[in-house]
Amino acid sequence: MDRIGNYETKLFSKYRKNVVLIASEGWRKHSLNTLLEIDVTKPRKLIHKCKKIGEDISFTAWVIKCIAQALSEYKELNAYRLGRNKIVIFEDVDVAIPVEKIVNDEPIPMAYIIRKANEKSIKHITKEIRDIQKAEGKSTQVLMKELNWFERFALNSPFFIRKLLLTLSRRRGLLKKKYMGTVGVTSIGMFSRFSGWVIPLGGVTSLLVAVNGVTKKPCVVNNEIKIRECLHLVVTFDHDLADGGTIARFTSRLVELMENAFGLEDKYSITKS
């Protein structure tokens, strides 16, 4: 009796090797994960109203705007290590997001950075996301970007050289901001009706937000039990850069912005391009 059965083999692709590389780098950090359940009934209703009048507003774009706003108020989290003894804190909130494309019959999340997300409107961020979803990447890792010779070398180099380059960038905050943004946002809920929390490995950015699914559940509102739409969100912090107090204040502000539909009730904020 054949104890193996039918099977197939395929290459462990360069992309999968990059996932291993990024994951191993994430494990090096002292990460602190915060699991949040946020009532997004109000913003989802407003986004639905916008779509009914022809305004294309992405839920992910709105989440990105809320994160960028909270980070602009708590800049100490919008930061990287700079050498052994310094931290560099940035004014601009650059949000790195993955955009899935099919390359050689394999679904690959390509990298894209929304620069200065704290200064852009929700509509502007929505348009940027829609454009990159339609775009064809000139490389198999980065979208809508002309790569210089060093970037092409880094992306196409052997695994051990990519690992060395990532190691060398570990405490070079300015370099990391240029190529990796300051915060990562991955929207897991857009792929399925996932109702739990996926906890990221940490990634290469100091702050990483995993946007999970939205589910309906009973909640207490003004001492009454009502059915609300709740978003499962995981925020991963680099504990080396921030303590519990700062993390708690940032988290409270983020929840406040999201539950109060930041930027959606002001029509100017929505329609401004």
pLDDT in tens, the chain (273 residues): 578 888 888 887 777 777 777 777 777 788 888 999 999 999 999 999 988 888 889 999 999 999 999 999 999 999 998 988 999 999 999 999 988 776 666 677 778 899 999 999 999 999 999 888 777 654 444 444 555 656 665 666 777 677 777 777 777 888 889 888 999 998 876 555 667 778 877 678 889 999 988 989 888 888 889 999 999 999 999 888 888 899 999 999 999 999 999 999 765 444 444
Encoding tokens for residue 147? 């790569």
Give the burial class of 5: count Cβ atoms within 10 A of its Cβ; 0-12 exposed, 13-18 middle, 19 or more buried. exposed
Angle between helix 244-259 and helix 59-73 axes, rounded to 10 deg: 140
CB-side neighbour CA atoms (13 Å) of 76 = 12
86: left (phi over 0), alpha (psi -120 to 50) or beta: beta
Give SS3 for 181: coil
> Bridge-partner residues for 142, per DSSP?
111
Go through the domains of the chain in sequence order and give each one's CATH number: 31-259 (3.30.559.10)
Specify the pTM.
0.83
